[in-house]
Amino acid sequence: MLLASMFVLAAVWGTVQQPLTISDASGAPVPGARADFVDAVRRHDVESSDAAGRVAARANFIPLAVDVSRAGYRPVHVTLAAGAPGRVTLERVLPVIGIVSVATGSARSQHAAPLATSVLDRAALATAPAMTTDRALRQLPGFDRTRSNSAFTNYGQLRASFGGAGTDRATVLVDGVPAQDGFGGQIDWQAYPVGEIERVELLRGAGSALYGSGAIGGVLALDTFAPQTGRDALAGGRADVAAGTHAGADEGVQVRTPLGRDAGASLSATSTYFAYRDLPPAYASPRDHPAVASSGTTHARLRYDHGATTLDGSVLFASDHQDEGRTNYTFDRTLRQENVAATQRIGAALARLRYYVRDTTVYNLADQFPTKPTVLRYRQHVPTGESGFGAALGAQPGRTDLAILVDQRRVNGLSQQYGADGQTLQAFGSGVALLQGIGFQATFHAARLEALVGTRADRVRYDDLALETIAQGRTTSQAVAGHAAGAISPRVALRYDVAPRIALRVSSGGGFRAPYLNELVRGFNVGAVVMAPNPDLVPERSRTDDAGIDVLLGNGRLAFDVTQVRVSDAIAFRTITPTLMRRENVGRTQTDGETLTFAQPLSACTRLRLSGTSQYARVTSGAPQVVGKRLALVPERSASIGMDGAGSGPFGFSVDGSYIGQTYYDDLQRQPLGAALLIGATLRATTRSGTTFSLVGDNLTQQRYLSSIDRYGEPLTVALRVGIPLGAMHRAPATCW
């Protein structure tokens, strides 16, 4: 027996004493590969391949197997016996950097997407030195709302624009539901606290072919804190409390628990408070007091997940109050939303259904500034009822992805304006808008080429439009007959792999944006300037072209895109007199832009991201006084830089910088908002129990910049934030991603 064993060992020894040669599929040697040799008693000997790709176990070590691995290659297990190969071939594997589904409807890495995309994960959002979601989103390249200050601003300015396409030419989805108010198009960012956002995806470029009206410049999709189901689901969550300068305070809690193996529930609740006194000279008065902003949200969700069926339900309540710094100069909004969704797998196909109902109410008080500050000018009451449904069916026959989408959105809005006594009706506007769409998309995959072809038909109908003004006892009515409009929005995209790590992409798509009811029937004031509606507006139509290159650099990614957006019948405020601006179809606009993005891990726990955008957005045809002028509220260029990481110990950090170029508030470029360089930073320490202490600072450069024509952005802000884990789910702190 002993003799037989010696013969076996001799045979194995003779086999493995010859070095293994490790190469890739082309036969090129792979230096630095890790070879983990294992012997009969499970002892290990770890070696590395040399410049020629050769590696062998140490002397007197008799391995029976080896595991070969190297970053960027698929690991290989080899049994070392008589006749075992002397050469091991490793297959290259490209790093997966950012999974996105907003571009095509199916999940894929950013490098493999045929359209330009960006992603913010939970780690980037959790460490960002930002108190509100819209400020955290300034990390996204081409997100024009970097100037937005949702805590204090003219509410009408809380809109979305990507890549310089212009105001309202973008779609924002939160858990698949349109976030823009159906009546006015505003986004109440305070209803979606940054602490509840788990993930953000941005599609830059034409999105109307898949997402319908408004997605001219892109689509922003946010996912919020959700229930977990399944065998490994645990009860737990986190609680956060912060206090800082300017009486700043916010508290939040997110908890979730399994309800058996197939169901789960989650609850998020947040409240915020902030105050400061800093009005632009042209909008300040001796009777001003510190402005105060407060908000509160409650979001409850249920999920049932069994086999091929998933059901989701949620209820969202949100309130937002802004005292703008003077008596009778306030804004209040309440929101209530219910949302149900179902997903069903049918073989290789996936069907989705969604239905939501939302009610919002806006109260707005404006004073008689500048002649009689604090004296009531008007009181506005704007209730809106909205409902919508969507259905989608996706399938993957062979190397083709197919998707069919149908959706509808119905909005019933009313605007009532009362005079200085708060009781006498001054103006009345109302209407019903019905938006319907059906789309089809096919994505074809070949060895190195991917082609996406899609088209969508949209239709909007307006009914019961009414616009009345009452002055000195006389009522002036502007009757508007019900009318409809429609459009076909095609989209084509190609992606070609020049090499495994280099991809080229081109795309072209049509777009369609129906006017909001607010633009048709509601006016308002900004200081002494009247912002008038226009019931004769027609929908915008657009074309967006994009070309880009995407390169993987080690575990990093570099992308460069050139985009052109052309809009016909563009809707914008036109200056009629110094105290009157009116919405009009001003003609054609064009935006030429370039965007560069770069992301690179610097270590296992530290990563760097850079982005820069330059855009020339202007009116190309229309009234002579506006031709050649830049689009309002679109910066001429912007840039961002960010770094976040954690050390080997309990400490971590993040740094965020963003530059906002020159921006104009009006169509004649007479009201510049100026440029700003904003820098924020976070230092954090995590205890053994998982409790996190963070020192957060924003606007460390103390920039005094306008967030809107009547409001400065937040000054230097410093806060201490404490995060406490709740339950087993967050007891082990994650210091790296």
Task: Catalogue all structural domains in the chain, each as residue range(s) with its CATH number.
Answer: 2-90 (2.60.40.1120), 222-730 (2.40.170.20)
In one-letter notation, the amino acid at residue 89 is: T
Residue environment code for 389-399, b if the CB has 16+ CB neighbours within 10 A, otherwise e: ebbbbbeeeee
Residue range 24-57, pLDDT digits in tens: 877 888 888 888 989 888 888 888 888 788 898 8
| pLDDT of 176 | 93
Distance of CA 688 to the CA centre of its chain: 33
CA distances from 368 to 12, 289, 327, 495 (A): 94, 16, 11, 57
Strand-pair category, 372-395 with 349-368: antiparallel
Specify burial of residue 648 (Cβ count, 10 A radius: 0-12, 13-18, 19+).
exposed
Distance CA 416, CA 428 (A): 5
| pLDDT of 722 | 96
Phi and psi at residue 579, in whole multiples of 5°? -115, 15
- CA-angle at 553, arms to 551 and 559, nearest 5°: 35
* Residue 270 CB partners (closer than 8 Å, separation 6+): 193, 195, 196, 250, 251, 252, 253, 295, 296, 297
| Closest CA relative to residue 439, chosen from 185, 105, 107 | 105
Q: How many other CB atoms sit within 10 Å of the CB of residue 482? A: 11
Cβ–Cβ < 8 Å for 609, 601? no
Strands (E), 166-285: 171-174, 177-178, 197-204, 218-224, 236-244, 249-258, 263-276
| pLDDT of 732 | 40
Tokens of 83: 């006749």
| pLDDT of 5 | 43
Strand-pair category, 197-204 with 116-120: antiparallel
Distance CA 461, CA 484 (A): 4
- CA-angle at 297, arms to 291 and 303, nearest 5°: 165
Distance CA 386, CA 359 (A): 6
Mean pLDDT by 10 residues, the chain (737 residues): 41 53 84 87 86 86 88 81 72 70 75 86 83 83 60 58 74 92 87 91 81 86 91 88 90 94 95 84 89 93 94 96 89 95 90 97 90 92 96 87 94 92 86 96 89 94 88 74 91 93 94 91 79 90 94 91 93 88 91 91 84 90 90 84 76 88 86 87 90 93 81 86 80 44
Distance CA 511, CA 704 (A): 37
Residue range 491-520, pLDDT digits in tens: 999 999 999 899 999 999 999 999 999 899
What is the SS3 assignment for 496? Answer: strand
Cβ–Cβ < 8 Å for 40, 64? yes
Helix (H) or strand (E) holding 595: strand 580-603
Tokens of 142: 């081409």
| Total residue count of the chain as it appears in this document | 737
Distance CA 642, CA 479 (A): 53
